[in-house]
Amino acid sequence: MDWQLFGLSFITVFLAEIGDKSQLAAIALGGSSKSPRAVFFGSVTALILASFIGVIIGGGVAQFIPTKLLKSLAAIGFLFMALKLLWCDGKK
């Protein structure tokens, strides 16, 4: 196993999920349920499944699109979302 890639993936996903709406939903469900353990396991299972689907699709797409182009498309997508958030957020 590539431990450096494992660590990078862990840190990236961990930081991306802090304060995310899925975490806020888990907090709300955990606080209002009689079984916070079920909320925990349901949330963990959902995150694992979503990550698994992303990895499988990413691996499949990487077979057809060169890595450099894929990274460029992702960067453009993130740039577009950031600019949209900046412009749309200021108009409210």
Give the tens place of pLDDT for each residue, 29-86: 999 989 999 999 999 999 999 999 999 998 888 899 998 998 899 899 999 988 988 8
- Whether 92 has a pLDDT exceeding 70, the answer reads no
pTM of the model: 0.64
- pLDDT confidence of 18, banded at 50, 70, 90? confident
At residue 23, the 3 state secondary structure works out as helix
Share above pLDDT 70 across residues of the chain, in percent, rounded to a whole number = 96
The per-residue pLDDT for 89 is 62
The full set of domain ranges for the chain reads 3-65
- Report the C-alpha gap between 59 and 6 in whole angstroms: 16
pLDDT, residue 76, reads 96
